[in-house]
């Protein structure tokens, strides 16, 4: 079976990880990269052995690539995705797929019109660790509390503290801690328990420039509450957990779990095995390729991406986080 030709939009460290994962699969060959500047594009292409660099998006999308991975700023996801699917390209778009729920619905409509796959690049959704947690849930009995935490000191935060505000801390790019970091535990929770049974409650902590640096969300379910904690300004020191009447499950990291532990109420802790990879982006790439070859939309995955977007919109509304994209037409 011939490999799918993949084009890359975005030349940051996340794209580096994706290219590394692509080389570990039998599904894709790295064909082209689009960059706003020839210099950055050429540097990225040389690093990953990519032959062709484009600085014109139309030329990039008109090339012979089969699919596009989009890792540009959040505010560019919708226009670039819509342009790509209208050119008949399948799209794997980095999380969060859109600035808001309205954008995401339009993106899926355009993908369906063109008969192509649009999939959110949400690493834990495709990681076997999620299935391992789900399979272990019956062992802990009735769930009574869940705490999903992902707090990660941003690599750009030192400069922010020194007075230099980079793109990662500017809301005009549809950035916020809940968009960049909180989206992981939100999606993990939705995959396990579905949408909350009642309205959520959220409280954000804002930085000096009005940017959301951290926050917490209470997501109510029948019989328990899930607490979502996230931050770009400090690191987590405790694992996420799900506690039931008969035991608990610990998860060490939301975006890329390395260890899952089952702790019975009476008994010894037990590590839960799962297919652990150094780069868990291989799982989302494999699912992307499977959907493309089946020629069907990602209806199951789409359901969770849309639910995630609704939660993100609600959190922002509760905390006055507004993006230019909220008022822009597509």
pLDDT in tens, 13-69: 999 999 999 999 999 999 999 999 999 999 999 999 999 999 999 999 999 999 999
The Cα-based distances of 150 to 89, 111, 178, 207, 210 in angstroms read 33, 31, 10, 18, 21
At 1 the pLDDT is 65
Percentage of residues of the chain with pLDDT beyond 70? 100
Distance in angstroms (rounded) separating the CA atoms of residues 128 and 297: 21
At 298 the pLDDT is 76
At 41 the pLDDT is 93
Q: What is the mean pLDDT of residues 141-155?
A: 98
pTM (two decimals): 0.96
Mean pLDDT of the chain: 96
At 223 the pLDDT is 97
Query: Is the pLDDT confidence value at 148 over 80?
Result: yes
Per the CB < 8 A criterion, the answer to whether 182 and 83 are in contact is no
Q: What is the mean pLDDT of residues 239-264?
A: 97
Q: How many CB atoms lie within 10 A of CB 208?
A: 10
Distance in angstroms (rounded) separating the CA atoms of residues 268 and 263: 7
End-to-end CA separation in angstroms for the chain:
37
DSSP bridge partners of 4: 28
Longest dimension (CA), the chain: 63
DSSP 178: I
At 108 the pLDDT is 97
Q: Which domains does the chain have, with CATH numbers?
A: 4-121+281-296 (3.40.50.720), 128-271 (3.30.360.10)
Query: Is the pLDDT confidence value at 300 over 90?
Result: no
Q: What is the mean pLDDT of residues 208-233?
A: 98
Query: Is the pLDDT confidence value at 328 over 90?
Result: no
Percentage of residues of the chain with pLDDT beyond 90? 95
At 296 the pLDDT is 76
> Is 94 exposed, middle or buried, given 0-12, 13-18 or 19+ CB atoms closer than 10 A?
buried
Confidence of residue 138 (pLDDT cuts 50, 70, 90): very high
Query: Is the pLDDT confidence value at 329 over 80?
Result: no
């Amino acid at each position: 079976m011939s490999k799918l030709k993949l084009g890359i939009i975005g030349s940051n460290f996340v794209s580096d990880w994706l290219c590394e994962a692509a080389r570990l699969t039998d599904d894709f060959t790295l064909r082209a990269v689009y960059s706003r500047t020839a210099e950055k594009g050429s540097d990225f292409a040389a690093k990953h052995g990519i032959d062709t660099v484009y600085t014109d998006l139309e030329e990039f999308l008109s090339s012979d690539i089969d699919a596009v991975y989009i890792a540009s700023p959040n505010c560019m996801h919708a226009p670039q995705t819509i342009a790509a699917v209208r050119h008949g390209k399948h799209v794997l778009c980095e999380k969060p797929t859109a600035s808001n729920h309205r954008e995401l619905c339009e993106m899926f409509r355009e993908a369906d019109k063109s008969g192509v796959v649009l999939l959110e690049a949400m690493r834990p959704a495709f990681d076997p660790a999620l299935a391992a947690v789900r399979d272990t849930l019956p062992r802990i009995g009735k769930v009574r509390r869940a705490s999903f935490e992902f707090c990660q000191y941003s690599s750009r935060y030192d400069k922010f503290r020194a007075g230099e505000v980079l793109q990662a801390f500017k809301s005009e790019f549809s950035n916020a801690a809940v968009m960049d970091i909180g989206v992981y535990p939100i999606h993990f929770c939705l995959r396990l328990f579905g949408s909350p049974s009642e309205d959520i409650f959220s409280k954000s902590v804002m930085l000096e420039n009005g940017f959301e640096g951290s926050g917490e969300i209470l997501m109510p379910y029948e019989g328990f509450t899930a607490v979502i904690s996230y931050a770009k300004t400090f690191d987590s020191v405790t694992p996420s957990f799900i506690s039931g009447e008969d035991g608990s499950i610990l998860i060490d990291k939301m975006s890329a779990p390395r260890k899952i532990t089952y702790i019975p109420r009476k008994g010894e802790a037990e590590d839960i095995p799962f297919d652990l990879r150094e780069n868990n982006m291989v799982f989302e790439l494999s699912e992307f390729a499977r959907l493309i070859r089946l020629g069907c939309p990602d209806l199951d995955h789409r359901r969770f991406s849309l639910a995630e977007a609704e939660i993100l919109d609600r959190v922002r509304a509760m905390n006055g986080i507004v993006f230019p994209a909220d008022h822009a037409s597509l």
